[in-house]
């Protein structure tokens, strides 16, 4: 606990929020003017504008202008998830696998202030903003750096207040101020753990029962060994083509070249995995819809791809998040073994 980490989540949400309003424009006469946006409190810009009361001064705070500010945080118990649930992510190049616990929900409060001199300018700006919030806009943000954990952060419009800051004589600069209050429903991730070296590729379980006396063989000596098995073709090796159309229930299927099909191996056609029980000539007898894949209709000429055929190792290409099956062996004593899949 309390190890150093910094996922830049607050920074990402603040930048993302500001980018929503960075392209607002208004039309004056025949020209288009981009409304400047800055980070900071509204009072700062109003104070500076009042200090520069000379309306003829060549350099001064110009209106219209927008400013936004991050005001605070609040925990959101309505979005709480199971604390022990984890997220597994893999870098795009597959070189690293990272683990993180489920994020903690927090609400970030923002205010966007719009300052204009003319009422028409204000109406142009607000009309470009309000239609996108009904009442929330989904802002996509990449969390956790190169892991590319992309999530939509709802930006909810809570309230709009209006103020006309116009007092004094004709030398006083007028400022119409609209303040829009927002809530960003974000999530905070904890430290990221590298689990690249923790991937289980093989498991073995042994059972020994009977006498432990010296020179007396165990009555039962049994071990199970399992390894992940690919349920689809990763290498793109096409072994042959279908020689006929195949419906949803057909289990004897004809191919162009039956010599390329191996019995007791898996094949992949379309998005369906099949297990080849036997091959006779150019016809193969198969089990359909293996490993929870759906039986599909297939057309003549469809590609038949081999899974773990000679010269390929689809098992080694299984990625995190992929579905996979299991191969294994059951061994009794030291002289007998059987394989199951």
C-alpha closest to that of 156 among 174, 175, 180: 180
Best mean pLDDT range from 74-88, 216-230, 264-278, 309-323 = 264-278
Closest CA to 160 of 134, 126, 124, 116: 126
Domain assignments of the chain as residue spans, ordered by start? 9-194, 201-334
Looking only at the bridges linking them, the beta strands covering 65-75 and 37-39 are parallel
For the chain, count helices (H), then strands (E). 3, 21
**pLDDT at position 179:** 94
> What is the pLDDT, as a whole number, of residue 246?
94
What is the 3-state composition of the chain as percent helix, strand, coil, each rounded to the nearest 5?
15, 45, 40
DSSP-derived pairing of the beta strands 220-230 and 238-241: unpaired
Higher pLDDT, 24 or 202: 24
pLDDT for the residue numbered 198:
57
Which secondary-structure segment (H or E) carries 312?
A: none
Cis peptide before 99 (omega within 30 of 0): no
pLDDT for residue 59: 42
Strongest mean pLDDT among 45-59, 119-133, 172-186, 195-209: 119-133
Of 91, 89, 148, 94, the closest CA to residue 317 belongs to 94
Cβ-contact 274, 248 below 8 angstroms: no
Q: Beta partners for 90?
A: 97
Query: Token pair for residue 94?
Result: 């597959």
Intra-chain end-to-end CA distance of the chain, in Å: 43
Beta-bridge mates of residue 173: none
CATH topology of domain 9-194: STM4215-like (3.30.2000)
Q: What is the pLDDT of residues 3-24, one digit of tens each?
A: 788 888 899 999 999 999 998 9
> Would you mind telling me the total number of residues written for the chain in this entry?
341
Task: Let me know: does 340 contact 328? Beta carbons within 8 Å.
Answer: yes
Answer whether 68's CB lies under 8 Å from 129's CB.
no
DSSP letter, residue 341: -
| Distance in angstroms (rounded) separating the CA atoms of residues 133 and 336 | 69
Which residue, 245, 202, 242, 248, is CA-closest to 225? 202
Least confident of 22-36, 42-56, 145-159, 182-196: 42-56
Determine the Cα–Cα distance for residues 78 and 10; give it in Å rounded to an integer: 20
């Amino acid at each position: 606990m309390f190890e150093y980490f910094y996922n830049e989540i607050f920074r990402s949400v603040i930048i993302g929020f500001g980018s929503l309003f960075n392209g607002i424009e208004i039309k004056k006469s025949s020209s288009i003017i981009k409304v400047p946006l800055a980070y900071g409190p509204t009072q700062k810009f109003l104070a500076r504008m009042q200090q520069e009361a000379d309306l003829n001064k060549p350099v001064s705070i110009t209106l219209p202008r927008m400013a936004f500010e991050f005001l605070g945080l609040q925990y959101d118990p309505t979005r709480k998830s199971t604390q022990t649930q984890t997220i597994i992510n893999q870098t795009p190049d597959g070189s690293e696998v990272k683990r993180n616990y489920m994020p903690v929900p927090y609400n970030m409060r923002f205010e966007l202030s719009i300052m204009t001199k003319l009422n028409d300018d204000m109406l142009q700006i607000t009309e470009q903003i309000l239609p996108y919030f009904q009442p929330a806009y989904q802002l996509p943000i990449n969390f956790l750096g190169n892991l590319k954990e992309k999530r939509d952060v709802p930006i909810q419009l809570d309230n709009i207040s209006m103020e006309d800051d116009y007092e004094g004589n004709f030398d006083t600069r007028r400022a119409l101020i609209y303040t829009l209050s927002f809530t960003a429903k974000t999530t905070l991730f904890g430290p990221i753990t590298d689990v690249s070296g923790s991937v289980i590729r093989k498991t073995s379980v042994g059972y020994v029962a009977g006498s432990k006396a010296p020179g007396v063989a165990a009555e039962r000596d049994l071990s199970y060994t399992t390894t992940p098995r690919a349920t689809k073709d990763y290498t793109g090796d096409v072994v042959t083509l279908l020689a006929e159309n195949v419906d949803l229930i057909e289990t004897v299927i004809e191919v162009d070249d039956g010599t390329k099909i191996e019995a007791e191996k898996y094949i992949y056609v379309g998005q369906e995995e099949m297990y080849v029980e036997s091959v006779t000539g150019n016809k193969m007898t198969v089990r359909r819809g293996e490993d929870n894949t759906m039986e599909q209709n297939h057309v003549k000429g469809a590609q038949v791809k081999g899974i773990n055929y000679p010269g390929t190792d689809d098992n080694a290409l299984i990625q995190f998040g992929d579905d996979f099956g299991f191969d294994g062996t059951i061994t009794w004593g030291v002289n007998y073994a059987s394989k199951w899949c």
